[in-house]
Structure 1
Amino acid sequence: MEWLNYHHLLYFWVVAREGSIARASQELRLAQPTISGQIRALEEALGEKLFVRSGRHLVLTEVGRVVFRYADDIFSLGRELLDTVKGRPTGRPLRFVVGIADVVPKHIAHRLLEPALALEEPVRMVCREDKADRLLAELALHNLDMVITDAPLGAGMKIKAYSHLLGECGVSFLAAPSVSLDPRRPFPACLDGAPFLLPAEGTMLRRSLEQWFESERIRPRVVGEFDDSALIKVFGQAGAGVVVAPSVIEKEVEGQYDLRIVGSTDAVKERFYAITGERKIKNPATNAVASVARKQIFG
């Protein structure tokens, strides 16, 4: 395998930028023969001449110009790496890679992540949706900065990560006008026997709903179970059954899907967490998400 000697590349880059070995020698505090030798070694490794003489100056060859562009990118990226590690502004957008568990409603995900895009520092957000366990595996490999999910890390998860509660709220029940509910019975009794679209088994919300149904002696007629939080609302819009949404976004869901609010309860809680590799949040985008969630969205 061929390896590039970055010391040689650095000396070449400084000489090309300064226009002469003499000026590069002053900046690098190295003897001119040392720099000349390093550049010859780079030319031999590449098999190409990088400079030609024009009077008392060195001029880049065609290949030299190509190498200089690459070197410029490499050393600019190196400075950015140091700035990022030391917490200094880099001038480039902050890359913020977020995993969103498929059980998290899209409206919730949007409201949680929106503050990251409002930072003074430019942010380039990358969102990936998947099952929570697969996203957490990616977090463990440092491929994600944060995972948004509806449950904290389980005790059996063998990864070094931390759960940060973003907030909690009650839930609202919504249905299309075509869904028939007994008008003589008040909420929540009117839900007994009603067609229901429920989140998949094993989710936190599904378990909480089943416990609440039991305590209220409600027996829903389950007509569909869904992993995807958006798909369940599309079926609800078509009149397939009652759907459940976090109360903090009931108005958005009602308006977007032409549903009506049947009722709400705080006895069933939806909780949302940011899972990160940091015990104390340092990433400015993650910090913005957590701060706005706790003070405004769920505050």
Structure 2
Amino acid sequence: MSFLNYHHLRYFRAIAHEGTLTGAAHNLGVSQSAISAQLKQLEESLGQALFLREKKSLVLTEAGRIALQYAETIFKSGEELVSVLESRPNAKRQVLRVGCVSTLSRNFQLSCLQPFIGRADVELVLRSGNLSELLSQLKSHTLDIVLSNLPVRRDVDSKLSSHLLEQQPVSLVGKKLGRGKKFSFPGDLATTPLLLPSLDSHLRAAFDLVLERHRIHPVIAAEVDDMAMLRLLAREGGGLTLVPPVVVAGELKRKQLVEHHRFTDIHENFYAISPGRRFPNVLAEALLAKAKEASSA
């Protein structure tokens, strides 16, 4: 049975924070050879390589990232011990790092994160960006899970998996037309200003096929790559927008907007993308399980 040397763990933590043996040795006031030997002994004790050498710095492996999380917990527990004995209690908290594609519905994001909001034992770290950026962070272990409206492409080198959480219908949504007038599909598409997703959106591609099928040349008032902005433009009366109703759920409930036409052949899919890790974040696993449970209910 291996025994953990906390002195080794302290050295490892310093290397992880500094990114180099030289920096860690200087910070701890020891020689570089001494700290290198301590790291080697820790890796042998754990049976895992904790760092990869990239150029002039050391980068944590997956096992290293897990070890650092535990090291931080261990040293934080020591700080909490002192705090408790000094009558300054501090509750332990788990961290869940979630990446959200910037164009993703905020309402969908909120529904996924709802079980963790307000929990005293959970700290949420949310990152927004394009899918490529977030997947890079997922692979480097700085994110635990990514929420997206596109699946990840599986290839030989990828260990990422896409989990379909929900499939939402898509509608044309906007303010009431007034004077009892009703939107007539597809004829009114030729004269009604439209607020559409940008050309690189799969929703836009599917909608353009509908227009082509009906030989309609639309009046495009705006092309936007952000669902939240489409919602705001629709609220301002800029035209009818093409969105899943979940994006404008609050406006529909308050009757600020109405659903003028629902498509049966256009859908928005929502995914959770997770890495194939031997040491998954338990909160990320819980998020995935709860989201799947809600979508199948």
Q: Which amino acid aligns with 2:139?
A: A
CA distance in 2, matches of 1:294, 1:75: 32
Q: Deviations over 1:141-182 (max 9, x none)?
A: 1111111111111256954311111121211221123x6899
1:71 alignment partner in structure 2: none
Q: Which amino acid aligns with 2:105?
A: P
2:33 alignment partner in structure 1: none
- CA shift in 2, pair 1:9/1:192, >3 Å: closer
CA distance in 1, matches of 2:170, 2:162: 22
1:220 alignment partner in structure 2: 218
How many residues align structurally? 224
Once the two structures are TM-superposed, the CA of residue 283 in structure 1 deviates from its matched residue by: 3.3
Q: Which amino acid aligns with 1:104?
A: L
Structure 2: segments with no counterpart, 5+ residues: 11-28, 31-69, 78-90
**8 Å CA contact retained: 1:115, 1:288:** no
1:144 alignment partner in structure 2: 143
Q: For 1:69-84, what aligned pairs fall within 5 Å after superposition?
A: 77-78=73-74
Once the two structures are TM-superposed, the CA of residue 262 in structure 1 deviates from its matched residue by: 1.0
Once the two structures are TM-superposed, the CA of residue 275 in structure 1 deviates from its matched residue by: 0.9
1:290 alignment partner in structure 2: 288
Once the two structures are TM-superposed, the CA of residue 93 in structure 1 deviates from its matched residue by: 1.7
- CA shift in 2, pair 1:244/1:224, >3 Å: same
Once the two structures are TM-superposed, the CA of residue 217 in structure 1 deviates from its matched residue by: 4.4
User: TM-score, structure 1 length as denominator?
Assistant: 0.62
Structural RMSD (CA): 3.7
- CA shift in 2, pair 1:102/1:93, >3 Å: same
Secondary structure of 1:167's counterpart equals: strand
2:108 alignment partner in structure 1: 108
Once the two structures are TM-superposed, the CA of residue 132 in structure 1 deviates from its matched residue by: 1.1
CA distance in 2, matches of 1:9, 1:192: 68
CA distance in 1, matches of 2:203, 2:166: 15
Q: Deviations over 1:116-150 (max 9, x none)?
A: 3377x822111111111111111111111111111
CA distance in 2, matches of 1:252, 1:298: 22
Secondary structure of 1:138's counterpart equals: helix
Q: Deviations over 1:29-81 (max 9, x none)?
A: xxxxxxxxxxxxxxx97xxxxxxxxxxxxxxxxxxxxxxxxxxxx97733789
Q: For 1:178-189, what aligned pairs fall within 5 Å after superposition?
A: 183=181, 186-189=184-187
Once the two structures are TM-superposed, the CA of residue 207 in structure 1 deviates from its matched residue by: 1.7
1:263 alignment partner in structure 2: 261
Once the two structures are TM-superposed, the CA of residue 224 in structure 1 deviates from its matched residue by: 0.9
Secondary structure of 1:78's counterpart equals: helix
1:173 alignment partner in structure 2: 172
For structure 1, which segment, 227-236 or 255-264, has the greater mean C-alpha deviation from structure 2 after superposition? 255-264
- CA shift in 2, pair 1:205/1:79, >3 Å: same
**8 Å CA contact retained: 1:195, 1:222:** yes
Q: For 1:1-299, what aligned pairs fall within 5 Å after superposition?
A: 7=7, 77-78=73-74, 92-117=92-117, 122-155=121-154, 159-177=158-176, 183=181, 186-248=184-246, 250-255=248-253, 258-278=256-276, 282-297=280-295, 299=297
Q: Which amino acid aligns with 2:129?
A: D
**Which has the greater radius of gyration?**
1
CA distance in 2, matches of 1:75, 1:252: 44
CA distance in 2, matches of 1:200, 1:279: 35
Once the two structures are TM-superposed, the CA of residue 253 in structure 1 deviates from its matched residue by: 3.8
